Amino acid sequence: MAIARRTRTIAGICEPAEMSLPELRTPAVGAVHPLVCPEGWPRMFLRSAPIVCDLGAGNGRFAAAYAELHPEWNILAVERRLPRVRKIRRAQELRRLSNLRVLWLGWDDLLLGWSQPESCREIHVLFPDPWPKRRHQIRRTLSVRVLTAIFRVLEPGGFFRLLTDDAGYYATVEQAAAALPGFGRAEDPGGFPETQFETIFRSRGTPLHGAIWRKPEGNGTERKRRGAA
């Protein structure tokens, strides 16, 4: 199973020159990097803790603030633009966030290659690129396939949170989520730090669309299937 051709470097470390451990080096094209999978994360974070993902993390404002709020969790920011990856890494260093890591890769690739079901506590997708023109909508990252992968990797009781300014994008995700077994809308507990885009949209008065979908507690389909095997 290949993670991605775009997988270049990981673990909050942007370039091979900055890598301190030989095993963090760029993988061969098409190879699964040993750390870009749940089995590798305890080594990447230097500890075992629940994993929370911020996918398409931008400048990392949410991921860094969430890491500060929840030192008991491992926060994984995923971003495909290198300058933004570097910003997140700088924030991680300046604020000494030992529970934050950034991956430089496509988050769809990460999810589709994610080897262990039910191994992620929370997934936040905050202002994914909307591709509003009809002919461009095929480029949206949050496809039915990717949403199904999100459902698969969430722990029972874990949640997926989406926030967007694009009503159409939100509606397609809502429809796709309704087709997944027991993936119900949950109450928003609130208290989430704002993202950079959220602040911009709120200051302009742009209507926002968002929700939380929670995976059923204790009766995850994957777990049942694994138990039956």
Ligand X SMILES: C[S@@+](CC[C@H](N)C(=O)[O-])C[C@H]1O[C@@H](n2cnc3c(N)ncnc32)[C@H](O)[C@@H]1O
Instruction: Name the residue nearer to ligand X (CB basis): 106 or 158.
Output: 106
Q: Which helix (H) or strand (E) holds 213?
A: strand 209-214
Q: How far is the CB of 145 from ligand X (least distance, A)?
A: 13
Amino acid at 119: S
Taking CB under 6 A as the rule, does residue 193 contact ligand X?
A: no
Q: How far is the CB of 154 from ligand X (least distance, A)?
A: 18
Q: Which of 11, 79, 111, 120 is the binder for ligand X (CB under 6 A)?
A: 79
The edge-to-edge listing of strands for the beta sheet with 184-186 is: 100-104, 74-79, 51-55, 120-126, 154-164, 209-214, 184-186
Helices (H), the chain: 41-45, 61-69, 82-94, 107-112, 144-153, 167-178, 196-204, 221-228
Q: Is 174 helix (H, G, I), strand (E, B) or coil?
A: helix
Taking CB under 6 A as the rule, does residue 196 contact ligand X?
A: yes
Taking CB under 6 A as the rule, does residue 143 contact ligand X?
A: no
Instruction: Name the residue nearer to ligand X (CB basis): 80 or 152.
Output: 80
Q: How far is the CB of 219 from ligand X (least distance, A)?
A: 31
Instruction: Name the residue nearer to ligand X (CB basis): 58 or 220.
Output: 58
Stretch that binds ligand X, among 22-30, 50-58, 69-77, 207-215 (CB under 6 A): 50-58
Pairing state of beta strands 154-164 and 209-214?
Answer: antiparallel
Half-sphere exposure of 35 (CA within 13 A, CB side): 26
Question: Residue 86 contacts by C-beta under 8 Å, 6 or more apart in sequence?
Answer: 14
Q: How far is the CB of 108 from ligand X (least distance, A)?
A: 5
Is 188 catalytic? The answer is: no
Rounded to whole angstroms, the Cα distance separating 100 from 12 reads: 8
The residue behind tokens 């969790």 is 73
Q: Which of 41, 107, 114, 169 is the binder for ligand X (CB under 6 A)?
A: 107
Catalytic residue among 129, 165, 166, 188: 129
Contact residues: ligand X, CB under 6 A: 56-58, 78-81, 84, 106-108, 126-129, 141, 195-198
Catalytic site positions = 129
